[in-house]
Chains A and B, each alone.
Chain A
Amino acid sequence: MLSVVKVEIKKLMSSMVLWMIPAGAILPAIISVLVLLNIEGVYWKGYIHTSMDTFNPLAFLIFACFVSFIWAREYEEGMMEITLLYPYPKYVLLYAKIILMFIIIAIIVILWAVSTYIAGRIYLGEVMNTGDLKELIKMLPVIIVTQFLLVTITFFITMVFKNILVGAILGVISVVLCYLFQASPAIQYIPICLPMVLSHNLYGFNQVILDSYAVSFGILSATFTVMLIACVIYLRKKWELH
């Protein structure tokens, strides 16, 4: 299993989309600073909150692109036949890619936190106090887990369509949905908007409506499980029977 993950990492390292990791992490921080540039009286928590609300919907776009890229490139670059020759059960391939996605998500989220801190330090001109820093650090696992719970949706849709474009389309739709339903109570029931809703509320803000944390985490967990099962069933039908 570990060696398949290593192979996946090596394949990713040689790809043309690696620039998305720093871009996905650094751009939200820069954009937040630019958006707040002319506003006076900005404090650390407000700045982090703006950056987080910018990052979450955009991060899903990045992660969805990564997922569809690491799955569909096997087909588009004619590598799937070779990949299926690995002496491993076929599902290991899926699990390896899911683990790879966890690593990517974790790296991007941590890089985002670091770049947000650096950009904020330059913009606000003061050191973040320990309380705010602790709160930011506490938010990182939440963002990582909530974003990770969505990867199986993209995996499943990419498996069905076998097209790299799927991730980009899904990502754009998610950004549009998050923007459209920002003020509507319906947002707490749309799985792809939940990372934004949860982190927004857990960070102490309440402009985005959320009635119950349990229901939201339940929706995310159910989405992950159902989509994972759907992926496995789809792959069984596709690979084992033929």
Chain B
Amino acid sequence: MKYITLELRKIKKTSMSYIIFLFATLPILLMLLLHITSDEINKEFYTIIANYSVIITMCLFTVSIILANYIITREYQESTIIYLFIAPVSRKKILASKFGLLFLILFTLSIFTYGCIFLLNVMLGEVNSDIFARYVAACLSGAFLFFLLMPLIVAIALWRKNFISSMLISLVMLIFTSPFMFTQNFYAFPHLIPMAVSNNMLMTDNKLDINYPLAFLILALVGCLFTFVSVRLFEKKE
């Protein structure tokens, strides 16, 4: 916990806090804008959320990509990694604290964004226990499954050791393949699974055909494999 607090302090006074805030509020503002501009037939707030939930997940994933790359690569680019490595703490613990920070921020961000959208739904539309359960399921499943992808992002960051390069690889990987999410074989791209699962939780009809145990298994495998790769890369002597 001490190391996670330390990591949090490191990013507190950087531009990252503004970026996190921007991406946490962006989906809320966009959903509101869409509600205002939509015609009478499609004006039901929950229908808008269900139809465009991919935007919420895309924003959450984008900010987690930026953050994960930043907290890893800045140590290399600003040469602070040397001080980290001479600290009397194992490298695994340092890396674990970074994952811990990502976990905390991802869950907080997800709860904040979905929470605000739910509050908007209460004010602008009709809400019942089923809708509430859908929001909770989308929020928690999205955050948890995205977290399983973080080792992959961290591994790319540790491989490139350059913020812009690693961030662009991850972003291009996410954004360019996003149209593929609406096809049957989207399992080929594991990073689309959290988005698809999260969307399915909110959707009432036209749901994607997802095999949930298989989806979880693929993500868990990706998570384990890239955690191992990240630890190896982080412990590599240079």
Binds B, one of A34-42, A108-116, A130-138: A34-42
Whether, in the assembled complex, B171 has its beta carbon less than 8 Å from a beta carbon of chain A, the answer is yes
Whether, in the assembled complex, A202 has its beta carbon less than 8 Å from a beta carbon of chain B, the answer is no
Chain A residues in 8 Å Cβ range of B59: 172, 176
Q: Which of A16, A35, A163 contacts B180 (CB 8 A)?
A: A35
Whether, in the assembled complex, A54 has its beta carbon less than 8 Å from a beta carbon of chain B, the answer is yes
Whether, in the assembled complex, B118 has its beta carbon less than 8 Å from a beta carbon of chain A, the answer is no
Given contacts A165-B15, A165-B19, A179-B54, contact A172 B175 (CB under 8 A): yes
Complex Cα distance A35/B180, Å? 6
Chain B residues in 8 Å Cβ range of A37: 183, 185
Find residues 6-56 in chain A having any chain B CB closer than 8 Å to their own CB.
16-17, 20, 23-24, 27-28, 31, 34-35, 37-38, 54
Find residues 81-112 in chain A having any chain B CB closer than 8 Å to their own CB.
none
Find residues 54-85 in chain A having any chain B CB closer than 8 Å to their own CB.
54, 58, 61-62, 65, 69, 73
Whether, in the assembled complex, A169 has its beta carbon less than 8 Å from a beta carbon of chain B, the answer is yes
How far, in Å, is B78 (CB) from chain A's closest CB?
11
Total A-B pairs, Cβ < 8 A: 85
Whether, in the assembled complex, B26 has its beta carbon less than 8 Å from a beta carbon of chain A, the answer is yes
Residues of A in contact (CB 8 Å), total: 35
**Are B37 and A168 touching (Cβ within 8 A)?**
no
Complex Cα distance A54/B180, Å? 11
Chain A residues in 8 Å Cβ range of B99: none
How far, in Å, is B54 (CB) from chain A's closest CB?
7
Q: Show the binding face of A for B, using Cβ within 8 Å.
A: 16-17, 20, 23-24, 27-28, 31, 34-35, 37-38, 54, 58, 61-62, 65, 69, 73, 163-165, 168-169, 171-173, 175-177, 179-181, 184, 186
